Amino acid sequence: MILYIIPMTDQSEVRRPASGLFREIETIQAGKPWGRLLDAGTGTHSIGWVGSLVTEQWTAVTGAEAHAVQVRDAIAPRRREGDRIIVGNWQDPDLLAGETYDTVLADYLLGAIDGFAPYFQHRLFARLLPLVGRRLYIVGLEPYVTVDPGTEESRIIREIGRFRDACLLLAGEQPYREYPAQWTVDHLEASGYRVVAAKRFANRYKQRFVNSQIDMCAPRLAKIADRDLARSLAAHGEALRDRALGRIEREGSLRHGFDYVLAAEPA
């Protein structure tokens, strides 16, 4: 069952994102038509890129109403009459039933879906398979814990991730759960795809990442009934912020882990 489609509105212009991950997808696409495109886990970043492409029509799916409104407002100037923003859940077998898209984009969908459909990741690619007419592109993040924390920079990033997830859990929310590139390849192949391209991109985290991760915890900590615990966690978060920003000021960034891009086609 499709919950609802977000109506169109007028907002300010969207600028094309400069993400190296999306540029890599364009390179893999090698000038082939995008055709009808599905942004299977949309966000303001991915929809900006999708809106910059020459497509016949696009459909963007998100699991959250508030997120859908943000996407609608971000893409308004480039949204055509046939383009759709849909709120739905990939656990729902009726979502986009019978539809097919030339290109399907799963931009960090694998990790994010745990917040909407816990324990569904191993079924996600099989769920998307009937929708993929030609190619599926996946952007993912190698989990922090799979990367050797042999440096102070890596240890800081892992501690920030654990702090963020602890705050979410204590507030009764579900953290994202990322999966390694090899896990993703294995499950793509088991779900009826063949992987045609794969590339990793080393991550360099800067002030914006650190501040966004620590700041997102404040409204979660406000929900914790044990105020002593909340204050202790808030102090720990600020200590992590100072430690991370100090390191960035000295080194320029925090180097840890990588993102990956995979391209797959129905086998």
Domain count, the chain: 2
pLDDT in tens, 129-144: 999 999 999 999 998 7
Furthest C-alpha separation in the chain: 58
Share of the chain above pLDDT 70, in %: 91
Q: In this structure, are 75 and 167 located in the same domain?
A: no
Tell me: do 193 and 220 sit in the same domain: no
CA gap 251, 4 in Å, rounded:
47
Are residues 86 and 75 part of one domain? yes
The model's pTM is 0.86
Strands of 40-141, DSSP E: 57-62, 84-87, 101-107, 132-141
pLDDT at 148: 66
CA-nearest of 258, 173, 161 to 220 is 173
Residues 162 and 114 in one domain: no
The reply to whether 153 and 71 lie within a common domain is no
End-to-end CA, the chain = 28
Domain CATH number, residue 132: 3.40.50.150
Same domain membership, residue 234 and residue 125: no
What percentage of the chain has pLDDT greater than the value 90?
A: 81
Range of the domain at 227: 146-174+207-251
Query: If pLDDT is split at 50, 70 and 90, which confidence band does 147 have?
Result: low
| Average pLDDT of the residues in 22-32 | 96
- Specify whether 10 is located in the same domain as 104: yes
User: Quick one: average pLDDT of 23-35?
Assistant: 97
How many Cα atoms within 13 Å fall on the side-chain side of residue 24? 18
